[in-house]
Amino acid sequence: MKYTFLPINPYYQRLALLSLLGTLVLIYRVTTTQTILFTFLLWNLFLAILPLIVSKIIRYNSKVNSSNIALAVLFVLWILFLPNSPYIITDFIHLETGISTMWVDLFMLFIFALNGVLLGTLSMVDMFHSLTKKFNQKIANITLLSSCYLSGFGIFIGRFLRFNSWDIVARPKVLFYCIYKCLFLWEAWLWTLGFGSFMWVSFIILKPFIRHPSK
């Protein structure tokens, strides 16, 4: 029996080390302060990994690629999960100045936020190659650009309205009502444009440096 393994990209090994470093800093913070204030970062990091998992399935699973329905379902899931990656940047809101652990907290939040951005970018690179292969580069770029701005809006409703990716199933009526209301808020548009542009620029900058073994 033959087994097919996904290509092991060295970037994932480095991200694993970065995740380990962040976790160790978090453990240090918990043990020295005897509080679990920032342990939510581990959950947010797990959520940030989900879009990369989905993009890997789309890119390397031949059965999925042979089914338009499966591709469509997974692509929708990817869109829903993608905001979770850069969302960690907004966790800087929990940083308190003037306390003894301020610099530890700043260092820890930076590590987790950097991880989130890199995970999201790697996921976008996967989707770019998948869309280019199935369609063409122009469609891939348009789709990813649109996904960035949708994610920017998703980060806004996640941070300020406290919605999660799964609320589209758990609370669809409330979610869509709030989305409609947000369309008339300039803050929502500003946040969408700001974070969406940040994600797109991050992708454009990092993409040339990311080389997959399958290429």
Taking residues 95-109, report their average pLDDT: 94
Structure tokens at 163: 């919605």
Which pLDDT tens digit goes with each residue over 177-214? Answer: 999 999 999 999 999 999 999 999 999 998 888 765 44
Which pLDDT tens digit goes with each residue over 108-166? Answer: 999 999 999 999 999 999 999 999 999 999 999 999 999 999 999 999 999 999 999 88
What pLDDT band is residue 1 in, cutting at 50, 70 and 90? very low
pLDDT for the residue 193: 97
pLDDT for the residue 212: 55
pLDDT for the residue 214: 46
Taking residues 80-109, report their average pLDDT: 95
Domain boundaries, the chain: 10-209
Taking residues 89-109, report their average pLDDT: 94
pLDDT for the residue 63: 87
Which pLDDT tens digit goes with each residue over 27-71? Answer: 999 999 999 999 999 999 999 999 999 999 999 998 888 888 999
Residues 6 or more apart from 71 whose CB is under 8 A from it? 58, 64, 65, 134
pLDDT for the residue 8: 56
Residues 62, 130: contact at Cβ < 8 Å? no
Question: Can you list the pairs that 98-103 forms with residues at least 24 positions away whose Cβ atoms lie under 8 Å?
Answer: 101/29, 101/32, 101/33
Question: Can you list the pairs that 156-163 forms with residues at least 24 positions away whose Cβ atoms lie under 8 Å?
Answer: 156/182, 156/187, 156/188, 156/191, 156/192, 156/195, 157/182, 157/188, 158/83, 158/84, 158/87, 158/90, 159/87, 159/90, 159/93
- Global pTM? 0.89
pLDDT for the residue 4: 44
